[in-house]
Structure formats: structure tokens, C-alpha cells
Chain A
């Protein structure tokens, strides 16, 4: 008892400091977790969470019977995986090329230019893309027209839509991604390059045998952490760029949940779909953190 009171005397200010944060997280993160109950209810808004009848796994059954559900899961994983891979290769390549530049200010200027889109919202970037990619007046189709190519409706064509998502996502994020890799590059011991040079390796061989292995740990780490994103195909981006004609190739879990839940007010059903995503994501994210810890000794806190 004595120990406990002594501990309390010493530690109470620390507990007190956490109170506001804990209260907010309880209200806005943990209470909604209890709301997951809705996934097993036929939720009626004016009866509330405790008045609505439970229907077991009916919502999940409904989901399995939903005709487009396979498509939606496929689109989600397809777009997300392409984004993960492209979002890995492009920044690594650009970082290596940037590192070859001799003048520090040139390197910094390029860097500054390429990560500007990262700080603009998808609403603004979508506004820009809709204009630039427009089949009737967009500048890209004007340019293609010079080469005799017929206008392409990039945002309205199921063949193009997923790739436009991946490319525009790379456009927004690759500059930001290079930061991490550039930091890893500068931490490679210069004496390794000297040794390689004495052994007769040219710049290309040095890149292959010194630079890449030196970056490997961070590449592996970033890749591992991105595993948690296989179900995040990018709601902000797709929601602002898609339209009913391209639902076939563009509809992802998040946009589906939004349409079912907020637009059609099928709260129980939408929550069930969201829950399924949360559970799968939770497994992937936990796995990626455990893997990152095992492989790279990475810890969140």
C-alpha cells in the first residue's frame, strides 16, 4: 500500500496529462468501435443501437450475395497493390538518380519541385486532373491529337481508370517518398565506395553493389509497412475522380461503404462491410508491424 501511494504521489501529474487525450480517444475512437454492433443488427436510426433488433450474420450473408462484391474486392486489391509496387520503384529510382547529382542546390531544387503535389488535397488535384484529362478540352488529349491519336476518356473508360489512379497517385506521392530513401543513401559509409573503386568498380557497379545493398534494409522496411495498405486503394482520390460508368473498374470497398451507408442510409449493411475491411486490415497491419520488428527491428514507440 505504501509503495502504491508513493508511486501515485510521484506519477499523478503524468496520469493527469493523459486525461484530455484519453477522453477524446475514448469518445471518438473507442465508442465507435462499440458501434460495430450495428453490423449484426437491422439498424433503425430512431431505435438506436440498443433498440434495434439483432439479425446475426444476415448482413454478412447479404454482402456475400451482393452481385458486385467480388469485383469490388478485386478492384481494391488490384489498385492498392499496383500503387504499393509503383510507389516503391519510382521513389527508389529517383532517389538514386538524385544522389548522383553533384551540386547540392540542384538536388534540393528538384526535390522541392517534385514533392509539391504531396501537400495539395485530392480535391484540388482531382479538379486539375479532370480538366487536364478531359476528352473534349483537356490539354493531354490535345497533345495526343498532334500525334493523330483519337481523344481518350481517361476517367470514363474502364480500361484506363485503374492505371490513371496509379499514375496520378505516383505523381502526388513519389517526391515525398524519395525523402526517406535519400536519407538512407546519405548514411551509407563513403569508404565502401572507395573500396569498391579500388577494386575497379565503375559508378554503375558501385550502384549495384554498394548503393542498392545499402538501401536494402530501408526498402524492406518500407515494403513491409506497406503490406498494411492492401485494402487502402485511396478513397479520397477515387471518390473525387470516379463516376457511375467506371464503377466496374473503380468501385472499391471504401467508396461502396460510403454509398451504401451515407447515401442510402443502410447503416447495418455498410457497417458490416466496413467491419470486414477493418478486420482484414487489422490482420495485415499487425502482421506488417510484427514482420517489420522481426526483420528490421522497427518499433512504433
Chain B
């Protein structure tokens, strides 16, 4: 394409670049500010000297955070829920999306089943009935309350079933003709071929589990069962120390001073920052793939 590079055009390109650069930096600024705070001394932080670079560099806040059994325990609960939740959820997504990806001639009740799942996006019982269901199942204060209620993510199922459908039908036909059953066809042909889509949904699920805090707050009565984000919610946002034993209260207040808060936020964000490069490589592809339909 021939472009006419007049003076006005050049000016626009420069302004556009500067504008987008400032928008991107503005987006990151709060996060960098917190990072700088977390590496600054307590005095410098409360004197308001810290902007985007640590003042009086120290790792004391991090030492403080990692020295707290409460924080580490919450971190461990989060890791458990991510591992269990993602495994269970991915298994269910794979196995649920496959039958639903068939057309109604191959699988008569497909439309009925699809609506059965899709209806749950359209309508839900609401907070209180959900809470009471989990409670009546005796799942309060167990990891299952964090893992099972959201295990079938209909959004991911739809994403994956659209991906399955984009694979050539001949693959399935020849596999069935060669005598493989549906299960073998799914594991030996569909799963290996849909690895990019599975990576996308898997990473999304992991991030979702790492980030959720509300279920931890309502389903866990004892703070020692809190996942990390719920723990941070009570300590950083609500500054609620009611649940903490008195002899630990002083330590908890220490955890809530400005630099420690910053360090805790950053440590909780760190796992996301690690998977971020992968997320972003896969997920654009994943989203585009999932939305392509015939």
C-alpha cells in the first residue's frame, strides 16, 4: 500500500506514538509505584518520598512477609486450589466439550444437553442458595468448596467445543472406522490436536483460581483455611483482625503497614507475572479460535 507521508502524517504518527506510550505507562504506573514502595524503608514510605523508584532500598518488608506463617499457609492453600481446581476443571472441560461438539445427527440429545449447560450462564440461583447448597453438602472449610462449585466452566466448554468442531471431520470418521471407540478417539486424536486451545483454557483456569477470593471468604469459617487472595482481602482491604489470636495481633498490624502491604500485593501478583508471557502468547490465538464458527 502506497502511503502519502506528508508533514501532517508524520506529526500524527509521532503524536500517536507519544500518546500510546503515555497511556501504557500510565497503566503500569500504579503497579510500579507499589513495587517501589515494597522495596523502600518504612520511614521513606510514610514520608511520601517514594514515587517510582525505591528510596532507602531494603528487603525488610519481604522478610517480614515470608516470616509470617499466616501468609505462607494462605499461599499454600492457593497453590493447592490451583493445582486441584485446574486438573479437575480441565478434565471436565475436555470430556464435556467432546460430545457437545458432535452434530445432532450423530448425537441426538446434543441440543438438549447443550441447553442444559448453557442455561446455567443465563440464570442462577444467586448467592444465598449457592452458599446454602455448599453448606448442606458439608463442604464448608474444605478445599472442595473452592474447587467443585465452579469446576464445569461453561465458557471454557464452549471455547473448546468450537475448537473441536474446527478440526476436520475425516479424522474422527477414519478413527471410528478403524475400530477406535469414542473414548480412544477423544484421547488419541482430539486432545493432542487441541493442545493450543487446552493451554489457553488451562492458563485461564489457573489464573481464575489464583485470583478468586470471594468463595474463600464465604465458604471458609476459619482464617487458616483462607486462600491467599481472601487472606489479603481481610488484612489489606478490610483491615479486619477480629479472627486473629490476640498474641498474633501485633504481628498482623505490622503486616498491614504500608511497605508490607505493598510487598504482600506484589508477592501475590508474582505468579501471574510469571505466567503472563505464556498467557499472552496463547490467549489471543485461543480467543480468536474459539470465536470462529462455521
Q: Which residue numbers of A lie inside 8 Å of B, CB to CB?
A: 7, 11, 13-15, 17-18, 20-22, 24-25, 27-36, 38, 49, 94, 97-98, 100-102, 106, 109-110, 112-117, 119-121, 123-124, 126-132, 137, 139, 142, 171, 175, 179-180, 183, 190, 193-194, 197, 202-203, 235-236, 239-240, 254, 257-258, 261-262, 267, 270-271, 274-275, 277-278, 282, 285-286, 299-301
The answer on a CB contact under 8 Å between A13 and B232 is: no
Interfacial chain A residues near B177, Cβ < 8 Å: none
Number of B residues near A (Cβ < 8 Å) is 98
Name the segment of B26-34, B58-66, B79-87 touching the other chain: B26-34
The answer on a CB contact under 8 Å between B214 and A236 is: yes
Is B129 part of the binding interface, using a Cβ–Cβ cutoff of 8 Å?
Answer: yes
The answer on a CB contact under 8 Å between B16 and A21 is: no
Interfacial chain B residues near A121, Cβ < 8 Å: 210-213, 229
Also in contact, A119 and B272, with CB within 8 A (given A202-B4, A257-B128, A261-B127): yes
The answer on a CB contact under 8 Å between B236 and A258 is: no
The answer on a CB contact under 8 Å between B233 and A123 is: yes
Also in contact, A11 and B280, with CB within 8 A (given A31-B133, A179-B287): no
The answer on a CB contact under 8 Å between A35 and B132 is: yes
| Min C-beta distance of A290 to chain B, whole Å | 11
The answer on a CB contact under 8 Å between A28 and B265 is: no
Given A15-B99, A261-B128, A282-B123, list of 10 further CB < 8 A pairs? A7-B108, A17-B96, A21-B96, A35-B130, A116-B31, A119-B279, A131-B33, A132-B30, A142-B48, A236-B214
Interfacial chain A residues near B127, Cβ < 8 Å: 254, 257-258, 261-262, 270, 274
Interfacial chain A residues near B96, Cβ < 8 Å: 17-18, 20-21
Is B252 part of the binding interface, using a Cβ–Cβ cutoff of 8 Å?
Answer: no
Interfacial chain B residues near A110, Cβ < 8 Å: 20-21, 23-24
The answer on a CB contact under 8 Å between B116 and A25 is: yes
Also in contact, A36 and B280, with CB within 8 A (given A21-B96, A127-B232): no
> In the complex, which residue of chain A has the Cβ closest to the Cβ of B288?
A183
Is B131 part of the binding interface, using a Cβ–Cβ cutoff of 8 Å?
Answer: yes
Q: How far is the CA of A194 from the CA of B3 in the complex (A)?
A: 10
Interfacial chain B residues near A28, Cβ < 8 Å: 130, 133-134, 148-151
> In the complex, which residue of chain A has the Cβ closest to the Cβ of B279?
A119
> In the complex, which residue of chain A has the Cβ closest to the Cβ of B280?
A112
| Min C-beta distance of B282 to chain A, whole Å | 12
- Please classify the interface of chain A as helix (H, G, I), strand (E, B), loop, or mixed, using the class held by over half of its residues: helix
Q: Which residue numbers of B lie inside 8 Å of A, CB to CB?
A: 1-4, 9, 12-13, 16-17, 19-21, 23-25, 27-28, 30-31, 33-34, 37, 46, 48, 51, 92, 95-96, 98-100, 102, 106-109, 113-114, 116-118, 120-134, 137, 148-152, 157-158, 161-162, 181-183, 186, 207, 210-214, 218, 229-230, 232-233, 236-237, 258, 261-262, 264-265, 268-269, 272, 276, 279-280, 284, 287-288, 293
> In the complex, which residue of chain A has the Cβ closest to the Cβ of B233?
A123
- Please classify the interface of chain B as helix (H, G, I), strand (E, B), loop, or mixed, using the class held by over half of its residues: helix
The answer on a CB contact under 8 Å between B128 and A274 is: yes
Q: List 16 A-B contacts (CB under 8 A).
A: A17-B99, A20-B95, A21-B152, A21-B157, A32-B125, A32-B126, A36-B125, A38-B132, A123-B213, A123-B236, A131-B261, A203-B12, A262-B131, A270-B128, A278-B124, A301-B118
> In the complex, which residue of chain A has the Cβ closest to the Cβ of B293?
A299
Q: How far is the CA of A255 from the CA of B150 in the complex (A)?
A: 21
> In the complex, which residue of chain B has the Cβ closest to the Cβ of A257?
B127
Residue among B12, B27, B95 making CB contact with A21, cutoff 8 Å: B95
